Amino acid sequence: MEGGSGGGVSVIIPAFRAQGTIARAVSSLLAQSFSHWEAVVVSDDGADYGAVLAAAGIADSRLTFTGTGRVGSGAPAARNAGLRWARLPLIAPLDADDRFEPDRLARLAPLAAAHGAAADNVVVVRDGDGSPLSTLFPSTSGTATLDAATFLETSVPMFFVVRRDLVPGWEEGVDFCDDVVFNVQVLDRLGRLPLVLEPLYEYRQREGSITCSADSGTRADLCYRHVLDRLAADGLRIADAALRHRFAAALGAKRALNAAYMAAQAAGRCASFQEFLALRENSLPG
């Protein structure tokens, strides 16, 4: 598919200690059937990721490289730095250890251009052996509608493609669940958006990443509490009072689920939250 349909997409890739994964993420962009994209790779560790990719045999005029000027400032700060360099009308975040399926931008870009934003299903993959752990929604063809109520019941990161004028930016004080806050802010602006039911985003669970660290549950709880405090103090730029209330209730449920995860992790039953969810789903009566 030619890349003109739906407008071009600026893909923002924050990179922190991503030397071992950045080539895979960028290669998934080079394989897109939709050609009208650019990638803004944002170094958050001082590394020259242009050189890293060149060493892997990857060079493309659509790649731009910048940095936060700091080390470990966090994904929200890196994404915001990338947003300042982005030139195209649609914005798509991509984590440096994840990948897009080849038709992802072709499917989502026209929908996002028409509706303000679009989302897709997500497959969770264990990075060590490439085995799938779970899929966010039942994998099928077609398109559904995602609203805030449905989104707030999810426990797998989602990465919306959003029209530039509707991008709220990322909350730099929210380091662990910034994707959740970003998505709620987008849904506050739009109400609902199209959801492609095919899993076109591959979310990798990688040993050594923040979400697989021994203190990931503690960090998640601190983030949830911080977001709850922000909701009470300034509303987190969410205009809809009912949505703020629903978001706070959902965070309470997420804290309870996270507490169960920490107990399972301490007992040695799982190494990451997504593994915990997969175990939990498999143990539920069918």
281 has pLDDT over 50? yes
277 confidence band (pLDDT: 50, 70, 90): confident
216 confidence band (pLDDT: 50, 70, 90): confident
CATH of the domain at 196: 3.90.550.10
Hey, what amino acid is at 216? S
Q: Say whether both 153 and 221 belong to one domain.
A: no
Give the end of a domain, one of 211, 242, 260: 211
Neighbours of 220 (CB within 10 A): 22
Q: Say whether both 46 and 25 belong to one domain.
A: yes
Phi, psi (degrees; rounded to nearest 5) at 125: -125, 135
State both tokens at 73: 């400032």
Q: Say whether both 106 and 184 belong to one domain.
A: yes
Residue 3 lies in a domain: no
Cα–Cα distance measured from residue 246 to residue 251, given in angstroms and rounded to the nearest whole number: 9
- What is the span of the domain harbouring residue 259? 212-283
Report the pLDDT value the prediction gives residue 4, as an integer from 0 to 100.
Answer: 47
Q: Say whether both 53 and 171 belong to one domain.
A: yes
SS3 194: strand
Degrees to nearest 5, angle at CA 33 with 29 and 34: 80
* 192-205/143-147 β-pairing: antiparallel
pLDDT digits (tens, 9 = 90+) for 226-245: 999 999 999 999 999 999 99
Whole-number Cα distances in Å, 247 to 181, 219, 229, 264: 9, 19, 12, 25
Length in residues, the chain: 286
* Rg over CA atoms, the chain: 18
211 has pLDDT over 60? no
DSSP code for 61:
T
Q: Please, where are the H alpha helices in 131-198? A: 148-151, 178-190
Residue 4 lies in a domain: no
State both tokens at 284: 């539920």
Q: Say whether both 188 and 254 belong to one domain.
A: no
Q: Say whether both 27 and 159 belong to one domain.
A: yes
Q: Say whether both 172 and 57 belong to one domain.
A: yes
8 confidence band (pLDDT: 50, 70, 90): very high
Give the end of a domain, one of 151, 180, 211: 211
pLDDT digits (tens, 9 = 90+) for 148-191: 999 999 989 999 999 999 999 999 989 889 999 999 999 999 99
Whole-number Cα distances in Å, 65 to 20, 48, 81, 151, 209: 17, 8, 11, 32, 22
Q: Say whether both 198 and 220 belong to one domain.
A: no
The widest CA-to-CA distance across the chain, in whole angstroms, is 52
Q: What is the DSSP annotation of 78-133? A: HHHHHHHH--SSEEEE--TT-EE-TTHHHHHHHHHHHHSEEEEEEEEEETTT--EE
63 has pLDDT over 50? yes
| Beta bridge partner(s), residue 66 | 42
Give the end of a domain, one of 185, 211, 237: 211
Report whether 36 contacts 10 (CB < 8 A): no
Report the pLDDT value the prediction gives residue 208, as an integer from 0 to 100.
Answer: 55
